[in-house]
């Protein structure tokens, strides 16, 4: 271990850290020096979204001290940003181990800095935290969650006064303030407890009413109230609000997956608490099949992502991918608003650069203006803020199982998404169709788009370096062909430059900088490479397209598109 890491270890052993922390460090010194190095070789980075990491002792772990120092930096920035205001923040957390402890630690530090704190009485979905910030007129907020990461992880997501996660310039400015905190002795740990207000049912009721107001066809639900719905919160915070929202909508036949109903940070029934994973949704699928349900829904631990299962055209239960869910939601809200006569000429829909292009085609063919932004709902929220005086945001979504309906919440919201998707299932059932039937009809109408992704994780201290080298290789030496098709365009969002590799023409990309590369092929395929901002992981997104003439040729065309993506993956050496 390098001497500077040992210096940091000694600071923790001799500084104002609790006895349990010092004992844990000493145990690592004796039993697991490799883990000790991993825990102290760097400081856990406060990125543009906040903190996320493995829980444990050390500067590179989620613990009381890294959370406290981050909060002190955030508090300092809030006070500089709003010098003439009485600052308020809202704080929430999910079901993860230590989430309540981290939320209370955060509350105590804010309160000790003279900031009024609204702390949820217990776990709540992340979108309700965003809603609370806006409802209470807070200048900021924090939710303690690591989303769908494995159980060893926790995190700290910071929010601004619009209820959205931090965007420029606030993200970088908060990072500077956090990095300026060099010692736990600079943190105000206690003394402001009177500034903490506990909130619960009243905020729940306001949020539920807001979601209920998003319904377009309550009269259809009244007729289809016994739609067979199976829901799993996957041991997370969705259990607090999803069943009450479905009840408020008027659904009377909701089955909660009992084995996954109890909040539990160990997530005992799954390897990863992620509704994108078939294994995670397997218990729900089994229950849905046994009940001959109409729809299965699952939400992740902080209830911002939603996964759905439906019966396909063969009667087999399948899980929709994030892009398919996005398309169903976009189509329903846009078409329903048009049929109801409530569509506005300035309606807009928003998605991200790595999500399906079908969202653009569907929106524009229905005379809804479409915007494409960087990955992450903070960018959708930022666009809403920029356009809200002139344009009417109705829906946004991204491929990673996130939807945001209406503008009262400024982060992805699986609670309202569950309600909307169930309403859509009821609407289609009333018209003699399943959701899968509807999806095929959309493919026939707008083009058969198919997407997939691969995540490659590089663990350990060299992981981030290996990913950076991979991206640099693609950037400096892009492939000329992929899977037999010429690379027509290279879009470099880090350099803000798009280039036609055939003609040499280049142009400026009018979006904030982001370390994303996209290859657009002559045959219309699109490949995106995007390193994670929170994990040593790089994601590759693949999108291919063909025409679909009728329902009967769906299977054949689906197989062709799958084979095309497999060919791209093989040619790029990614599997």
User: How far lies 202's CA from each of 132, 161, 246, 324, 512, in Å?
Assistant: 11, 20, 18, 35, 38
User: How far lies 405's CA from each of 210, 302, 350, in Å?
Assistant: 11, 17, 11
Cβ atoms of residues 393 and 350 within 8 Å: yes
Rounded CA separation 458/464 (Å): 7
Rounded CA separation 441/448 (Å): 10
User: How far lies 497's CA from each of 4, 203, 355, 357, 362, in Å?
Assistant: 40, 45, 20, 20, 27
What are residue 155's DSSP bridge partners?
Answer: 52
| Rg of the chain, C-alpha, whole Å | 24
Beta-carbon count within 10 A of 58 CB: 29
User: How far lies 245's CA from each of 121, 204, 214, 293, in Å?
Assistant: 19, 10, 11, 19
Q: In this structure, what token pair is assigned to residue 394?
A: 């109705």
User: What is the longest distance spanned by two Cα atoms in the chain?
Assistant: 72
| Residues with catalytic function | 147
Half-sphere exposure of 506 (CA within 13 A, CB side): 10
Cβ atoms of residues 204 and 76 within 8 Å: no
Rounded CA separation 212/95 (Å): 25
Q: What is the 8-class DSSP label of residue 375?
A: S
Q: Is 332 helix (H, G, I), strand (E, B) or coil?
A: helix
Measured in whole angstroms, the distance separating CA 398 from the mean position of its chain's CA atoms is: 9
Rounded CA separation 210/219 (Å): 18
Rounded CA separation 229/251 (Å): 8
Q: In this structure, what token pair is assigned to residue 518?
A: 């996209």
Cβ atoms of residues 409 and 130 within 8 Å: yes
Beta-carbon count within 10 A of 51 CB: 24
What are residue 157's DSSP bridge partners?
Answer: 50, 143
The candidate with the shortest Cα–Cα distance to 295, out of 400, 395, 414, 424, is 424
Q: In this structure, what token pair is assigned to residue 254?
A: 């909701």
The candidate with the shortest Cα–Cα distance to 396, out of 410, 132, 514, is 410
């Amino acid at each position: 271990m390098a001497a500077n890491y040992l210096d940091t270890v000694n600071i923790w052993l001799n500084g104002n850290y609790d006895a349990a922390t010092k004992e844990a460090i000493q145990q690592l010194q004796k039993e697991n020096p490799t883990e000790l190095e991993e825990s102290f070789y760097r400081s856990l980075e406060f990125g543009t979204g906040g903190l996320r990491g493995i829980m444990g002792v050390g500067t590179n772990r989620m613990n009381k001290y890294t959370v406290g120092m981050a909060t002190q930096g955030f508090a300092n920035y809030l006070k500089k940003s709003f010098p003439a205001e009485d600052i308020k923040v809202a704080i929430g957390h999910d079901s993860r181990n230590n989430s309540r402890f981290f939320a209370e630690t955060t509350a105590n530090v804010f309160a000790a800095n003279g900031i009024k704190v609204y702390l949820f009485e217990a776990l709540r979905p992340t979108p309700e935290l965003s809603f609370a910030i806006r409802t209470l007129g807070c200048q900021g907020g924090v939710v303690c969650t690591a989303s769908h990461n494995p159980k060893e992880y926790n995190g700290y997501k910071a929010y601004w006064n619009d209820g959205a996660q931090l965007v420029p310039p606030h993200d970088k400015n908060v990072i500077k303030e956090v990095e300026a905190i060099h010692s736990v002795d600079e943190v105000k740990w206690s003394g402001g407890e009177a500034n903490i207000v506990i909130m619960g049912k009243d905020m729940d009721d306001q949020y539920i009413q807001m979601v209920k107001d998003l319904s377009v066809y309550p009269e259809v639900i009244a007729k289809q109230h016994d739609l067979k719905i199976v829901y799993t919160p996957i041991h997370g915070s969705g259990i607090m609000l999803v069943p009450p929202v479905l009840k408020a909508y008027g659904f009377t036949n909701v089955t909660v997956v009992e084995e996954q109903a109890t909040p539990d940070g160990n997530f005992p029934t799954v390897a990863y608490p992620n509704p994108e994973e078939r294994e995670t949704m397997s218990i729900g699928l089994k229950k849905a099949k046994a009940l001959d349900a109409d729809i299965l829904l699952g939400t992740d631990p902080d209830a911002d992502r939603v996964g759905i299962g439906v019966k396909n055209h063969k009667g087999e239960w399948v899980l929709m991918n994030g892009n398919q869910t996005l398309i169903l939601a976009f189509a329903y809200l846009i078409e329903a608003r048009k049929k109801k006569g409530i569509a506005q000429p300035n309606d807009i829909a928003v998605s991200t650069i790595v999500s399906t292009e079908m969202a653009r085609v569907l929106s524009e063919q229905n005379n809804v203006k479409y915007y494409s932004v960087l990955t992450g709902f903070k960018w959708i929220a930022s666009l809403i803020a920029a356009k809200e005086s002139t344009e009417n945001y109705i829906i946004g979504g991204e491929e990673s199982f996130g939807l945001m309906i209406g503008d009262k919440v400024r982060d992805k919201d699986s609670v309202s998404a569950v309600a909307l998707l169930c309403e859509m299932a009821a609407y289609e059932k009333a018209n003699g169709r399943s959701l899968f039937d509807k999806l095929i009809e959309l493919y026939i109408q707008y083009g058969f788009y198919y997407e997939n992704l691969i995540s490659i994780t590089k663990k350990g201290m060299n992981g981030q370096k290996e990913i950076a080298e991979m991206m640099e290789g693609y950037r400096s030496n892009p492939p000329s062909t992929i899977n037999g098709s010429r690379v027509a365009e290279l879009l470099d969002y880090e350099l803000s430059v798009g280039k036609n590799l055939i003609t040499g023409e280049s142009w400026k990309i009018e979006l904030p900088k982001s370390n994303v590369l996209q290859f657009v092929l002559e045959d219309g395929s699109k490949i995106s490479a995007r390193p994670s901002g929170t994990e040593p992981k790089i994601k590759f997104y693949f999108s291919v397209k063909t025409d679909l003439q009728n329902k009967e040729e769906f299977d054949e065309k689906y197989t062709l598109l799958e084979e095309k993506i497999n060919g791209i993956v093989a040619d790029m050496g990614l599997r």
